[in-house]
Structure 1
Amino acid sequence: MQPYFLPYIGYWQLMRAAERFVIYDDVNYIKSGWINRNRILINRAPAYFTLPLQQASSNRRICDIGLQPSEVWRDKLVKTLELTYRQAPCFPEVFPVLAAIIRHRTDSLGEFLAHQLQTLAAFMGLATQFILASKCHQKDSLDGQARVINICRREGATVYINPQGGQGLYDASAFYQQGIDLRFLVMQPIPYPQASREFLPYLSIVDALMAVGPVAIKTHLDAYRLIRPGLFNDIGNLHHA
């Protein structure tokens, strides 16, 4: 998966379901996506918070894009999280971790995103191993599905899990021919206390962590189903400790 900024629960469920997670950091940056922005609740409504970038372009790879070097945006973002969630039940244990992530000393977007994914995964007790595509699976002439299959083969994978939205991107038979079982993760949101009139799923993991903390979040990380494409049946949640 491309590295996203403090992504929603479904993204972390992929890590919960997988033994190894390849951070796809050497593909092109996507404007107006989730690579450098996400949403939290401000005044009971979803609001974006972003990482300011230098020379971002859809023609440049994520790992080649820089963050703005100023500390101003980091201070502002930390303050926004503090003011927004200081009354949240789990603020005392969650906020210091998020503040340290935001203040992580790097001007590289790719390195920043990889660091925050690994830091929060450890904070939530996930034992998933992380692999950087830019370092371990350097890009060659392959693209799209062909490259994903190639990475799976090099990793020795027998199962490849992708979010539900990727069902139209892949040909299951191409994976099966290589001995790889293709599965898709379907998130099943569990409501938790929010500062909103009605429960809003798919917000940044920040919102859920502030409400339930790093221990209780595991119930939410396990709230998914794995399905096979086409005529295959639902195969349930196959997570194992």
Structure 2
Amino acid sequence: MTLAIMQPYFLPYIGYMQLMNAVDTFVLYDDVAFINRGWINRNKLLINGQEYLFTVPLKDASQNKRINEVHLADDPKWRGKLLKTIEQGYLKAPYYGTVMPLTEKIINFATDSIADLVHNSLVELNGYLGIGTKLIPSSAIYNNTHLKAQERILNICQQEHAARYINPIGGLDLYDKPTFAQAGMELKFIQAKRVEYPQFRNEFIPWLSILDALMFNDVATVQAMLNEYELV
């Protein structure tokens, strides 16, 4: 069994979805410290031909809290504002009519938890793209928050009886292949390849939210994009 562990990111870029598609079980690392100005509650869209960073507003977010302890802002108007921004950017995109109802369902999901909002969004995206990966919030099962860094990752892998662990390429200096091998596991790193597609008549802007790829491409094309990576 192949496993990956990542913090929950809202409407993430395609590399995140590639990692999820590459494994059997994907652990949402939601009981670690919240990161301000990270990707948990933010991502990028194409608005008026330009890269646009949107943010889901939170209440009392702090790096002293765990991700699953952080709540959405009390004012629900952000949902409608974000949907209006997405409509503004993608109304004329070829797959807007198919993808916008999915987007509305994701953004209007009834919760006050950023962790739950992200978890549900990934379930919905997986269903749309036919990704059968099992999603598990780390807060729900492993009971190992006393462990840190690589030690905790190894423990989760062992609890899940994983034979292979895949990490984003950014973790090359954080995780050690011989240590994983001693524990009976293979460690691999995933490197996303740049995938281009028409974005209206604009010069292509890479690494936007998966919504961008979905608005401009049919499901089969995006499914093929999910395999555009290297394992090292």
Does TM, normalized by the shorter one, top 0.5? Answer: yes
The CA distance in 2 between the partners of 1:28 and 1:212, in whole Å, is 35
Partner of 1:171: 176
Following TM superposition, by how much is the alpha carbon of 1:69 offset from its aligned partner in structure 2, in angstroms? 2.7
Secondary structure, in 3 states, of the residue corresponding to 1:47?
strand
Partner of 2:13: 8
Partner of 1:82: 87
Which 4+ runs in 1 deviate beyond 3 A? none
Partner of 2:213: 208
When normalised by structure 1's length, the TM-score is: 0.92
- Contact 1:189–1:220 (CA under 8 A) maintained in structure 2: no
Partner of 1:42: 47
- Contact 2:47–2:88 (CA under 8 A) maintained in structure 1: no
Following TM superposition, by how much is the alpha carbon of 1:195 offset from its aligned partner in structure 2, in angstroms? 3.7
Mapping of 1:14-93 within 5 angstroms? 14-93=19-98
Following TM superposition, by how much is the alpha carbon of 1:26 offset from its aligned partner in structure 2, in angstroms? 0.5
The CA distance in 1 between the partners of 2:125 and 2:163, in whole Å, is 27
The count of aligned residue pairs is 227
Following TM superposition, by how much is the alpha carbon of 1:196 offset from its aligned partner in structure 2, in angstroms? 6.0
The CA distance in 2 between the partners of 1:29 and 1:140, in whole Å, is 14
**Identity level (%):** 45
Following TM superposition, by how much is the alpha carbon of 1:140 offset from its aligned partner in structure 2, in angstroms? 3.0
- Deviation per CA, 1:155-193: give whole Å up to 9, x if none: 000100011111111111111110110000111122111
154, 157, 161: which one aligns with 1:152? 157
Secondary structure, in 3 states, of the residue corresponding to 2:135?
strand
Following TM superposition, by how much is the alpha carbon of 1:50 offset from its aligned partner in structure 2, in angstroms? 1.0
Supply the AA of the counterpart residue of 2:44.
R
Following TM superposition, by how much is the alpha carbon of 1:200 offset from its aligned partner in structure 2, in angstroms? 1.8
Structure 1 gaps of 5+ residues are 228-241
187, 203, 224: which one aligns with 2:229? 224
Partner of 1:235: none
Supply the AA of the counterpart residue of 2:106.
I
Partner of 2:135: 130
When normalised by structure 2's length, the TM-score is: 0.95
Secondary structure, in 3 states, of the residue corresponding to 1:206?
helix
